[in-house]
A = this chain, B = another copy of it.
Amino acid sequence: MLGVGEMGSLHAKLLSTKIRGASVTVVSDPEQGKARQVADAVGARVEVDPFSAIDAQDVDAVVIASPGPAHEAQVMACLERGKAVLCEKPLTVEADASYRIAKAEDALGKSLVQVGFMRRFDPEYVKLRQMIVSEELGPPLMLHLVHRNVAGPEGFTSEMALTSAVVHEADTVRFLLGEEINAVTVHRGTATSRAGPGVSDPMLVLFETESGRLADVEIFIRTGVAYEVRTELVAENGTARIGLGANVVTSGPTNRWGGLLASGFVERFGPAYEEELRCWVRAVGTGPPTGASAWDGYVAQAVCEAGLEALRTGGRAEVALLERPSASSRVAPA
């Protein structure tokens, strides 16, 4: 386990208590105290150097939850040693670096990298994708996506909203539609008073896919309300909505009926993280991972870079993808 901040600690705890066939043997984090604490909790030892950790004989597979800038070297080290790796998003900060990873993996002729887009393991997204693949409602035509957070950290910019939050929606669009995003436009609307000067929140992001489908995303970081993530599919013969969170419905205590919204991503997607780890651990040593690939990680970053350009120019930015390495699976094969 490389990096034991919020995500790394969550992964370590899940791996050591809930995931069949996995044990955390080595923990590494620049903050030694934190590393020691997590290692003790899960019965692991600490390695100060992340590359020694990757090298270790009792390490079959690596989870990377370190800060983004550290990812490239760590993932590459895993590839060199032929070890499976689950890397939290972003795969790398720059799209180019992600592409180098995809190429290196391709040269190995072996899929070793999974990127942590956990929504692909959430039952609702899985169901929606099944509906698309089975054409239960006919071919997909359009998507409407909503991504709302309660609040952003201090200093959270419009750019970060794209790279940290909208990136999930970009992967969702690709996962659901099974095709690439060709262009991005970002519309800055009226900002909430909670947004600082110069920050656009909410925004409306428009994706166009290679076949010409449209997907619009409301990204709203500072709702002050809840973590609310919804997707609506518009298909040839009907539409479908997920993310309604309607399993427990109350009347009262005030004069309202309704349900509770999630407070954050751990509450909403906790079980998806768990399932992601379960599938990944099962695949280690037995076959390619079933989650997002290095290519998916690369494309996500390329879309983010186009999004940042669109935000800056106020216009439409095209996503120029490099050639897909031959062994890379296409997005979300059915």
- List chain A positions with a Cβ less than 8 A from chain B: 17-22, 123-124, 127-128, 131, 136-139, 141-142, 144, 146, 148, 150, 187-194, 202, 204, 206, 208, 211-214, 216, 218, 220, 223-226, 228, 234, 236-242, 244-261, 263, 278
**A142–B260 contact, CB under 8 A?**
no
The listed residue with most B CB atoms (<10 A of its CB), out of A124, A144, A150, A208, is A144
**Residues of B with C-beta under 8 A to A245:** 247, 257
**A142–B202 contact, CB under 8 A?**
yes
**Residues of B with C-beta under 8 A to A136:** 253
Q: Which single residue of chain B is at the shortest CB-CB distance from A128?
A: B248
**Residues of B with C-beta under 8 A to A218:** 142, 144, 234
Q: Which single residue of chain B is at the shortest CB-CB distance from A214?
A: B189
Besides A142-B202, A255-B263, 20 other A-B contacts (C-beta < 8 A): A17-B20, A127-B248, A138-B253, A139-B190, A141-B191, A142-B220, A190-B212, A202-B234, A204-B214, A223-B251, A224-B236, A226-B252, A240-B249, A240-B251, A241-B249, A242-B247, A246-B246, A247-B247, A249-B258, A256-B261
**Residues of B with C-beta under 8 A to A226:** 251-252, 255-256
Given contacts A20-B19, A234-B218, contact A141 B202 (CB under 8 A): yes
